[in-house]
Structure 1
Amino acid sequence: MLNFFRSRKRASERHQIAAAIPDGERVYAVGDIHGRSDLFIALIEAIEHDNRDRGPAQTTVILLGDLVDRGPDSVNVIALAREWQKFRKVRILAGNHEEMFLKSMTNIETLRHFLRHGGRETLLSYGVDKRQYSKAPIEDVQQLMIDKVPRADIDFISRFEDMIAIGDYLFVHAGIEPGVPLADQQPARLRWIREPFLSHTEPYGMVVIHGHTITDTPTDQGNRIGIDTGAYASGQLTALVLEGEARRYITAVDDGEGNITIASEQTGH
């Protein structure tokens, strides 16, 4: 059974600035899942529970990208995301790991990089034999990938979006290039950027919601909010809930002994 509890407010809330979602809408933004299907299932249940309890709204779920790699069960994270879309408006951003995943099908050098950064776990989740993988030259690994990953999954991931704007919020995987109009932002930067985005302190005109850069807890810097809490390593998968001017967090937490609980936290807005 899911346990809901409130934790203390974060010091980073001192930096919050006003922003709002349009009246009648509710948005749940989910940070980097990275193959943790167990946490993802718990968070889906918690979001659906929360959405029912909060009453009618036009509800949108946004997955901020990096559904795959590092964690043990990327194949089922993709399956869960696709199934969720059948009854809920779920929009998905392309992360740098999805970019590597797709490019690895045709580019050996990208495949090498992909495998060093969690791609091995993704391929094993798709049924690539561990012993066969360990003995295979890189070209054979690529062919194993092509053979094991269904075309339906490739097509699904290929449709992930680059950015989403709702109300006063902009949702991207990694961040945006300061000083560059949104129409001119390069997809690769949206998926990979850290600096100068993370240290930029001036307003962007919209509050940017992003993942990609891991922090122990969600980080509200006023002009941006980062919600990648490192699910694959920390056992914490976080969602930011936006409604009107209010902001809340819902986090699925693995205690390391197979127990997953849900932490719910109201922010200063």
Structure 2
Amino acid sequence: MKGRTLVIGDIHGALKALKQAFIKANVTENDTLIFVGDYVDGWSDAANTVRFLIELNSTHNCVFIKGNHDELFLNWLTKQPHNPQWLIHGGQTTIDSYSELSKSELELHTQFFENLDNYYLDTKNRLFLHAGFTNEKGIEHEIISKNFYWDRTLWEMAIAMDKNLPIDNPCYPKRLKNYTEIYIGHTVLSRINETTPQQRANVWNVDTAAALKGPLTIMDVDTKEYWQSEPAFELYPNEKGRN
């Protein structure tokens, strides 16, 4: 039986929300699961979230994409200098959640973060990445790899576009023409007062702000049907989440 291709928005340590969304979406081993990054920095289940994802990868077809918070945490894991602001924006909660892991498990988690993909391009020319890219010729020509998990200009451009602009118009952004569809997270949709996946041009944003006051989202990229957890903060009532 052929499964679905499901894209999963930013988790930020909200394992309870992820499991709830999995149940609602009736995720099976036949489904391909594409995670757009930011597995940590937010709620207290950061280490448990990564443990769950590592185990999930042994039974399901998974694609794990790197988010900016994943890079920041990997810097800490590998004893590299990190931005002190990271500790304020969820980093300390992640460090606390990792305090009781054994050395061997910590090494396994480090390997998980080291092996994250910058992006994923499927056979239908659909691009999946955490944030964006800037080169009008596409991802293969991107010089600064950090753009894949830090850039916001792709989404900012998409939401600023005239909805009626045809793709053959010379003003249509060239970088969007490279792909059938583009799926991202990174920029919370609460910024535009939305709590469900949003499409602008051929760009889909699935970061429904589980790190803050929103739910976690899973979406079928073929049918555009989606499933959401309860708002993550309701599942972690005694925590602040990511500021």
Note closer, same or farther for the CA distance 1:159–1:255 as it changes in structure 2 (3 Å cut): closer
Alignment of 1:87-126 (within 5 A): 87-104=59-76, 105-108=78-81, 110-126=82-98
Unpaired stretches in structure 2, ≥5 consecutive residues: 162-172, 237-243
Which residue, 160, 167, 178 being the options, matches 1:205?
178
Q: Please list the CA deviations of residues 81-111 of structure 1 after superposition, one character each: whole Å capped at 9, or x if unmatched.
A: 1111121101100000111111233333x15
Question: Which one-letter code corresponds to 1:210 in the other structure?
Answer: I
Question: Which one-letter code corresponds to 1:84 in the other structure?
Answer: L
1:41 Cα deviation after fit: 1.2
Identity, % of aligned pairs? 24
SS at match of 1:253: coil
Name the TM-score, length of structure 1 as normaliser: 0.71
CA distance in 2, matches of 1:148, 1:97: 22
> Is 1:176 paired with 2:133?
yes
CA distance in 2, matches of 1:258, 1:121: 16
**Aligned residues between the structures:** 211
Q: Please list the CA deviations of residues 214-253 of structure 1 after superposition, one character each: whole Å capped at 9, or x if unmatched.
A: 003211002200010110212400112123xx22111112
Which residue, 197, 202, 219 being the options, matches 1:240?
219
Alignment correspondent of 1:195: 153
Alignment correspondent of 1:8: none
Note closer, same or farther for the CA distance 1:76–1:99 as it changes in structure 2 (3 Å cut): same
Name the TM-score, length of structure 2 as normaliser: 0.78
Question: Which one-letter code corresponds to 2:199 in the other structure?
Answer: D
CA distance in 1, matches of 2:208, 2:89: 17
CA distance in 1, matches of 2:20, 2:42: 19
Alignment correspondent of 1:254: 231
Question: Which one-letter code corresponds to 1:177 in the other structure?
Answer: T
Q: Please list the CA deviations of residues 69-89 of structure 1 after superposition, one character each: whole Å capped at 9, or x if unmatched.
A: 022210011011111112110
2:17–2:216 contact (8 Å) kept in structure 1: yes
Structure holding more strand per residue: 1
Across the aligned residues of Structure 1 and Structure 2, the Cα RMSD in angstroms comes to 2.6
Alignment correspondent of 2:205: 226
Max Rg structure: 1
CA distance in 1, matches of 2:209, 2:60: 25
CA distance in 1, matches of 2:87, 2:102: 14
Question: Which one-letter code corresponds to 1:72 in the other structure?
Answer: S
> Is 1:81 paired with 2:14?
no
Point out which structure has higher relative CO (alpha carbons under 8 A, 6+ apart): 1
76-85 vs 247-256, which moves further? 247-256
Q: Please list the CA deviations of residues 124-157 of structure 1 after superposition, one character each: whole Å capped at 9, or x if unmatched.
A: 11127xxxxxxxxxxxxxxxx9979711100111
SS at match of 1:62: strand
